[in-house]
Amino acid sequence: MVVRYPHTATVTVTVTTVTDGEYASETPTTSSIKGRFEPSGGATRVKNPNGEFIEVTGKFFTKAEVITGADTLAVDGMTFKILKWITYQNYSEIWLD
């Protein structure tokens, strides 16, 4: 049987603390999500919902809820910058750079 979401990825959110207008600290928080990673085999141009084109190097498909402020996604020993997290009715696409 084919597993639809065979990968587990780690999503990192960096929280910056500011005290009295001064930078105090940055705290990274990680969460694990299940999904499917599809590399694009190089930079691929995709069209944003607002009509702009973006170069992506891969996509991660998941049913996980959007994690606000997510910076990076690590899967299969590779770390990517999250460009967009787009939600649809049944799943989400995370566009990676």
Q: Which domain holds residue 54?
A: 7-96
Answer yes or no: is 32 within a domain. yes
> Please, which residues have CB within 8 angstroms of residue 71's CB and are 6 or more apart in sequence?
12, 13, 14, 81, 82
Residue 66 has a pLDDT of 94
pLDDT for the residue numbered 2: 74
Measured in whole angstroms, the distance separating CA 20 from the mean position of its chain's CA atoms is 31
Tell me if 79 is assigned to some domain.
yes
Q: Does 86 fall in a domain?
A: yes
Q: What is the CATH number of the domain that holds 68?
A: 2.40.10
Question: What's residue 34's pLDDT?
Answer: 96
In a domain, 74, yes or no: yes
For the entire predicted model, the pTM comes to 0.83
Model confidence pLDDT, tens digit, residues 22-77: 877 888 999 999 999 999 877 788 887 788 888 899 999 999 999 999 999 999 99
Tell me, what's the pLDDT at 21? 79
Q: How many domains does one find in the chain? A: 1
